[in-house]
Amino acid sequence: MIKRVLFARVGYMKYYAGPQKGDEKPKHGGSYNADQTGHEVYNFKLAGNRVYGYFQPYLRRESNKPVTLNLGRIDQSAQAADSLNNVLVVFVSRSDTEGQVIVGWYDKATVYREYQKPKREMQRHNYWYLLQADAKRAVLLPEKYRTYGIPKGAGAFGRASVVYPCNSKCQPRSFSSGDYAWIGKALAFIKSYDGPNLLTSPIDNITDEIEAVVENEKAARSGQGFPVTPEQRRKIEEFAVKRAIKHFTSLGYAVKNVGASRSYDLDCRKGAGTLRVEVKGTQTDGGSVILTPNEVSNARKQTTALFVLHSIRFLRIGSSSVPTGGKPLVLNPWKIDAHGILQPLSYMYEIGNEE
């Protein structure tokens, strides 16, 4: 039986938690967002333990005819239904840097045939919704993880902003081959994802910024390297990952780069053994590196190695610069509490009841 799934294209935002400074309204997502604020602005705003989502299936052609979602194209048995449960809804949007990508999803969502008027307790004013889900089953990807590309054109998104699992005759499409094989691959990505979720940990959207600030401060204070731009920081990370892949491949491991969907960078397999690898690149001498809470948690639970490529320098080529050099430091296995000292940069203090 085909999985109940729906791909919906929306405008792009960081948090989808309502208009706020720096994230006032969705970008892209059609002509409506150019002058007004699309209703997807609240797609990941918590309302109790629920989230309520919106997308526009297609452009309204007749002002007196409501826009409806064709539930029969999600499940053949729902052609006459007003709502349908247990649907995986995948939100797709256009990033300025990565193109059209997955930004998040609701699992086991309820979707409606027609737009639903919001209740006051939802705190979304007069912004309507088309689906809802338990917040525990909703995932909003940090921007660093919004890299899984979704195609355009035939077999994917065209003028309509929705892709159904069934064709116009409500017949299931193939996800394993042909024009819609990309759906099967996207579902595999979602199933394998165990990285951070902005809905439960908003700080994960700025961990890269924190790391960049600390690295620049360390470089300036020690005289090792120079302050780098976000683009140069990305180049350092990619350079370090390539060197780590080369290192572990030389040791006989089959290496896979999983940094786009996991809280670590490499999966290394040799025989029946599996090793996870956390990779760090730095201009400094590698005496210290920045770790996220997810990276610490992973290293404590799973057999993990730490690969640090330190003392990286930049080589100027024309108007651009590329990372070069670097010295590897490898801890394998990495015993995080024995090999070093964790020092908190700051704490998040959640205030409880006064009682």
196 and 243 share a domain?
Answer: no
Calculate the CA 123 to chain-centre distance: 25
Identify which of 21, 252, 218, 237 has the alpha carbon closest to the alpha carbon of residue 147: 237
Beta strands 138-140 and 129-134, pairing class: unpaired
What's the burial of 76, exposed, middle or buried (CB within 10 Å: 0-12/13-18/19+)?
middle
Q: Which of 179, 203, 227 is the last residue of a domain?
A: 203
Domain membership flag for residue 160: yes
Q: Are 77 and 53 contained in the same domain?
A: yes
The domain total for the chain is 2
DSSP-derived letter for residue 64 is T
How high is the pLDDT of residue 208? 73
Q: Which two tokens stand for residue 22?
A: 């720096």
My answer on whether 248 and 193 are in the same domain is no
- Is there a domain that residue 348 lies in? no
Let me know whether 45 and 57 are in one domain.
yes
Q: What is the pLDDT of residue 353?
A: 63
User: Residue 334 is part of which domain span?
Assistant: 206-339
Q: Are residues 195 and 253 in the same domain?
A: no
- The angle formed by the CA atoms of residues 251, 235 and 205, to the nearest 5 degrees, is 100
Span 79-117, pLDDT tens digits: 999 999 999 999 999 999 899 999 999 999 999 999 999
> Range with the lowest mean pLDDT among 148-157, 269-278, 329-338, 346-355?
346-355
> Residue 276: its pLDDT value, please?
96
- DSSP state, 150? -
pLDDT score at 293? 83
Looking at the structure, tell me whether residues 29 and 100 fall in a common domain: yes
User: How far apart are the C-alpha atoms of 134 and 235, rounded to whole Å?
Assistant: 38
Mean pLDDT value of segment 181-207: 88
Measured between alpha carbons, how far is 20 from 29 in angstroms, rounded to an integer? Answer: 18
- Looking at residue 2, its pLDDT comes to 62
* Same domain flag for 244 and 195: no
Compute the distance between CA of residue 339 and CA of residue 336 in angstroms, rounded to an integer. Answer: 6
Q: What is the mean pLDDT of residues 40-65?
A: 85
Q: Judge whether residue 118 has pLDDT over 60.
A: yes
How sure is the predictor about 171, in pLDDT bands with cuts at 50, 70 and 90? very high
Say if 346 falls within a structural domain: no
Asked whether residue 263 falls in the same domain as residue 131, the answer is no
Pair 293, 177 in one domain? no
Mean pLDDT, all residues of the chain: 89
Residue 140 lies in a domain: yes
217-275, pLDDT tens digit by residue? Answer: 877 777 767 777 778 888 999 999 999 999 999 999 999 999 988 989 999 999 988 99
**Nearest alpha-carbon partner for 289 in 326, 342, 330:** 342
The token duo for 278 is 């956390």
Residue 214 sits in a domain whose CATH number is: 3.40.1350
Considering 168, 185, 203, which residue would you say is the last residue of a domain?
Answer: 203
Residue 190 predicted with pLDDT over 80? yes
Please give the average per-residue pLDDT across 134-141, as a whole number. Answer: 96
Confidence band for 182, pLDDT divided at 50, 70 and 90: very high
- In this prediction, residue 62 has a pLDDT band, given cuts at 50, 70 and 90, of low
Beta-carbon neighbour count of residue 220 at 10 Å? 12
State whether 59 and 197 are in the same domain: yes
- Domain assignment of residue 345, yes or no: no
If we measure between CA atoms, which residue out of 218, 211, 216, 225 comes closest to residue 311? 225
Whether 164 and 307 share a structural domain: no
Based on the fold, state whether residues 120 and 256 are members of the same structural domain: no
